Chains A and B, each alone.
Chain A
Amino acid sequence: MVDKLDFMFSLLEGSPLFEGLSEVEINGLLAYAEVDDFADGQIVVKEGSLGDAIFLLCDGKLSISTCDAQGREIELAQLDRRGAFFGEISIADPGPRSATVCASGSALLLKLPLAALNDFFAQFANAQVVILRNIARVLARRLRDSNALVSSLSSS
């Protein structure tokens, strides 16, 4: 149990999402985290559903897919890096999920439900600014990459 907590602590501490949080804040956050097991093929989040949690990959592999206009499923990417995260946009923009994520083989995920995060933020106000800024940084980096790709595709 202690090992498991240590592992979760280091997972959160090493994540760009939680960079800059104090040890006390990370421990506070851990109290709101759930750990969920997923079997091969089991859906973690479904495209179009409302985002209500952030997930971090503890172990295993995930497949990210979307449906094309004909309703065929297209795999966009696979995630197998420990600490990889998704759903972070839902904190700032609780719109529909932009893709489906399911387990590819068995997978272990750390889940931070938004409702729990709000309780955490009520307790640690400073952590909210830090986490939001980290999320914005992650989004800004992705947007820079996407804009660079748009420029190169437009000029090609």
Chain B
Amino acid sequence: MSAPELGVLRSSPLLHGMGEDDLESLLSTAERRLYEAGDRIVEEGTPSDCLFILAGGSVRVTKVAGDAVVELCVLEDSGEFFGEMSLIDILPRSASVVAGEQTRILAFPKRVLTTLFTKVPRVQMTLILNIARNLSLRLRDADELIAKLALENGTSSRGLI
């Protein structure tokens, strides 16, 4: 069992409140992946089947809007995660994720996690609770941003008139 990787899991907000035994069980299901700068880790619109936790490096999260590609955020702290929506939602990926540099990822395929959830239901409970908390925070942020952008757009369009 790799101590640095266990440290990554311990620091992840997604796994907050999880005991050491459960973190070790979870790590035993992880696939280690290495990406080079510019590699696409997740493609918007494709089916989702994996949860990812950043173990080193950084990634950019982007979304297509009409003809433009908008960068939603950059993840650069070990323990940050993406693809978590695949655990609760069967819709296709809502954004693309691209490696910003050489990046190490711990990937957790959904079917392997499902097996672990059956054996240790509290792992599923903790994960889903943390996902819901995180979604709720991001929703509050997004809604504040919408209000701000709508106000800016409204102001500028009034300026044009």
Binding site for B on A (CB under 8 A): 89, 91-93, 95, 98, 125, 128-129, 132-133, 135-137, 139-144, 146-156
Total A-B Cβ pairs within 8 A: 92
A-B contact list, 27 entries, CB within 8 Å: A89-B136, A92-B132, A93-B132, A93-B136, A98-B140, A125-B121, A129-B121, A132-B128, A135-B132, A136-B88, A136-B89, A136-B128, A136-B132, A137-B88, A139-B135, A140-B89, A140-B135, A143-B135, A147-B94, A147-B142, A148-B65, A150-B70, A150-B149, A153-B153, A154-B65, A154-B70, A156-B153
Contact among B64, B132, B150 for A139, CB-based, below 8 A = B132
Q: Are A128 and B135 in contact (CB under 8 A)?
A: no
Chain B CB within 10 A, most for which of A92, A141, A144: A92
Known: A132-B129, A151-B63, A154-B65. 14 other contacts (CB 8 A): A93-B133, A93-B137, A133-B88, A136-B89, A137-B89, A143-B142, A146-B143, A147-B63, A148-B63, A150-B145, A151-B65, A152-B66, A153-B150, A155-B70
Q: Are A155 and B132 neighbours in the complex by a CB distance under 8 Å?
A: no
Given contacts A133-B88, A142-B139, A150-B149, contact A91 B125 (CB under 8 A): no
What is the predominant secondary structure among interface residues of chain A facing chain B? helix
The answer to whether A147 and B72 have CB atoms under 8 Å apart is yes
Question: What is the CB-to-nearest-CB distance from B26 to chain A, in angstroms, rounded to a whole number?
Answer: 17
Question: Does B29 belong to the interface (CB within 8 Å)?
Answer: no
Report the Cα distance A91→B128, complex, angstroms. 12
- Which A residues lie within 8 Å of B88 (CB)? 133, 136-137, 140
| Residue B124 CB within 8 A of the other chain | yes
